[in-house]
Amino acid sequence: MNGVANTLAERTALVGYLPVGFPDLPTSIDAAVELVENGVDVLELGLPYSDPVMDGHTIQKATQQALAGGFRVRDVFTAVEAVRARVEAPVLVMTYWNPVVQYGVARFADALRDAGGAGLITPDITPDAADDWLAESERTGLDRVFLAAPSSTDARLAATVQASRGFVYAVSTMGITGARADLDAKARALVARLREAGATGPDTISACVGVGISTPEQVAEVLTYADGAIVGSALVTALAEHGVPGLARTASALSQGK
């Protein structure tokens, strides 16, 4: 239905993140489309939230602007539907869990499915605390992307691999998002541990690495050992400083690392 697993089975992928509603809703839709048209394979659209504990300064500033501009949860479904009408790439929504609960888990799942979304990336819940989401994602066929960190135990990694669908989000460093000059070497070790836990092969879950990736060289490095490279802050910065044309140039340059 959504193509995330199919996309990752076909090729290593560049996953691009942008917050919905930044700098405004129509521009955020155009920006997401430009990412795909300039080499991004999977879209990660962020749902702005007032307490984004994992996000660094760049993304926090952008999401705060979106909230100040009147963003509402329903806007994420509008954005997904509009983007999917223009491009074929699968669209995941990255959201903290509280907005989903407040909206209603079943209602949120139905709206995302109906808009053509692929599923959710949920950074602040673990599989053992996600019974409602596991049930609703099964009912609706949506992907569920959980995070794995270098500090995760082997048992936690195995549970995350088993519960995830689409891919496992391997956090490359301990801490918040943001471009870094050097990727943490722990990322390679984490992906190796996920492989051992079952995140490998055409019939099992993929592993994509995010947090700190900002250059084509880093994309290329990550794709030597992972199924996908996730870029966020570098894209948000490009959009903030240079608009949609600058974002397109940055996405095109990053895609050269594939």
HSE-up (13 A, CA, CB side) for residue 214:
16
- Check if 221 is active-site: no
The pLDDT profile of the chain, 258 residues, written as one tens digit per residue, is: 458 999 999 999 999 999 999 999 999 999 999 999 999 999 999 999 876 556 667 888 999 999 999 999 999 999 999 999 999 999 999 999 999 999 999 999 999 999 999 999 999 999 999 999 999 999 999 999 999 998 899 999 999 999 999 999 998 764 445 555 456 678 889 999 999 887 554 457 899 999 788 999 999 999 999 999 999 999 999 999 999 999 999 999 999 999
Distance from C-alpha of 258 to C-alpha of 254, rounded to nearest angstrom: 8
Answer whether the bond into residue 23 is a cis peptide, omega within 30°: yes
Q: What is the pLDDT of residue 58?
A: 87
Of 10, 24, 30, 44, the active-site residue reads: 44
Q: Minimal CA–CA distance to 230: which of 28, 41, 34? A: 41
Which CATH class, in words, describes the domain spanning 4-255? alpha beta
Instruction: Look up tokens 């947090």; give the residue.
Output: 211
Q: What is the pLDDT of residue 178?
A: 54
Nearest 10 degrees: Cα torsion 84, 142, 58, 172: -130
Of 34, 41, 55, 184, the active-site residue reads: 55
Q: What backbone phi and psi angles, to 5 degrees, belong to 226?
A: -120, 170
Q: What is the pLDDT of residue 3?
A: 80
Q: What is the pLDDT of residue 212?
A: 82
Q: Minimal CA–CA distance to 24: which of 225, 192, 244, 171? A: 244
Distance from C-alpha of 14 to C-alpha of 191, rounded to nearest angstrom: 16
Q: What is the token pair recorded at 20? A: 């919905």
Q: What is the pLDDT of residue 176?
A: 44
Q: What is the pLDDT of residue 174?
A: 44
- Check if 34 is active-site: no
Q: What is the pLDDT of residue 55?
A: 61
In DSSP terms, which residues pair with 17 in a beta bridge? 44
Distance from C-alpha of 216 to C-alpha of 219, rounded to nearest angstrom: 5
Q: What's the pTM value of the predicted model, to 2 decimals?
A: 0.93
Exposed/middle/buried for residue 238 (C-beta within 10 Å: 0-12, 13-18, 19+): buried
